[in-house]
């Protein structure tokens, strides 16, 4: 069993317990009462042409399977506010409990604290989770291509759009990028972490980013340690970077976000100039 398979098995068990406590019909009622979703595609520069700035998706992340405990985040709302003050375009909130120590309570706290789009980052394997995300105020969800067949990927993406939301569709290979594009993904992330070994290979991003369909927002996921990594991703086509560990372990995450944005914008400007745009 791969790491992904093991995580998903736990996600299904935890979801079954929540479904017993709150059936889908009640979740759908809550979703209908939630404020309309914010436009994460626009927030990530999806309507800009050319996309001349680097956007940051800042993550509320306590732990990970590869690194273990990262930070004791006693007040996720306060951290999210600092992210927003630093210029983050989207706040990502881990809600998976077993490996990442997240929760829907964290999502609720962050949604109430910020005015920018919020991503429910979890392992989405059932429509219930998408309805649940909307009921808790999320504006977009994570869809991992490796975890879904083509039919589910397309139907899940369609559901997010029906609910006024967006999805960050995560790919690890060229074949997965093709599947994401065929399903109609508008925000495509390249995760440079190997799901089998959990190793990070930043060169994967440059090798894959050019195959992402025109018009999609390109997100670099995993492996951001510092501004040099941000510049590398931006130079190879990233419109946004998703950053967790480098922010939760920093004393001044707002300043770090601002630095990443400035560095990324410079790298994008150089790339656009080199391409004659």
Sketch out the chain's domains with CATH numbers: 3-274 (3.20.20.70)
Nearest CA to 258 among 118, 58, 111? 58
Provide mean pLDDT across the span 135-146. Answer: 98
Pairing of strands 166-171, 187-191: parallel
Asked if the model's pLDDT at residue 276 lies above 80, the reply is no
pLDDT band at 2 (very low <50, low <70, confident <90, very high): confident
Across the chain, what does the average pLDDT equal? Answer: 95
pLDDT band at 140 (very low <50, low <70, confident <90, very high): very high
* C-alpha dihedral (66, 128, 36, 117), degrees to nearest 10: 0
Asked if the model's pLDDT at residue 62 lies above 80, the reply is yes
pLDDT at 1: 64
- For the record, the structure tokens of 249 come out as 């372990």
**Residue 2 neighbours by CB under 8 Å, 6+ apart:** 195, 196
Task: Name the residues annotated as catalytic.
Answer: 59, 61, 121, 170, 191, 221-222
pLDDT at 66: 85
Provide mean pLDDT across the span 68-81. Answer: 94
The whole-angstrom separation of Cα 173 and Cα 102 is 27
Whether the model clears a pTM of 0.85, i.e. scores above it, the answer is yes
- For the record, the structure tokens of 179 come out as 């599947």
């Amino acid at each position: 069993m791969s790491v992904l398979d093991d995580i998903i098995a736990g996600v299904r068990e935890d979801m079954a317990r929540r479904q017993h406590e709150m059936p889908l019909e009640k979740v759908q009622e809550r979703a209908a009462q939630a404020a309309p979703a914010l436009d994460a595609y626009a927030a990530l520069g999806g309507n800009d042409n050319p996309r001349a700035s680097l956007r940051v998706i800042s993550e509320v992340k306590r732990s990970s399977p590869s690194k273990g405990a990262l930070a004791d985040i006693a007040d996720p709302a306060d951290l999210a506010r600092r992210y927003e003050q630093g210029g983050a375009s989207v706040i990502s909130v881990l809600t998976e409990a077993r490996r990442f120590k997240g929760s829907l309570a964290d999502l609720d706290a962050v949604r109430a604290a910020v005015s920018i789009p919020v991503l429910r980052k979890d392992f989405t394997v059932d429509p219930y989770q998408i309805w649940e995300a909307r009921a808790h105020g999320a504006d977009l969800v994570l869809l991992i291509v490796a975890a879904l067949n083509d039919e589910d990927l397309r139907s899940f993406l369609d559901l997010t759009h029906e609910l006024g939301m967006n999805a960050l569709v995560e790919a690890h290979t060229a074949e997965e990028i093709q599947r994401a594009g065929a399903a109609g993904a508008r925000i495509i992330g390249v995760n440079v972490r190997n799901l089998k070994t959990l190793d990070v290979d930043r060169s994967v991003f440059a090798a894959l980013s050019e195959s992402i369909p025109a018009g999609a927002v390109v997100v670099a996921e995993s492996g951001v340690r510092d501004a040099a990594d941000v510049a590398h991703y931006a130079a190879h086509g990233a419109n946004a970077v998703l950053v967790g560990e480098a922010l939760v372990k920093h004393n001044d995450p707002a300043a770090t976000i601002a630095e990443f944005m400035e560095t990324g914008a410079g790298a994008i400007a150089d790339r656009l100039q080199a391409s004659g745009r």
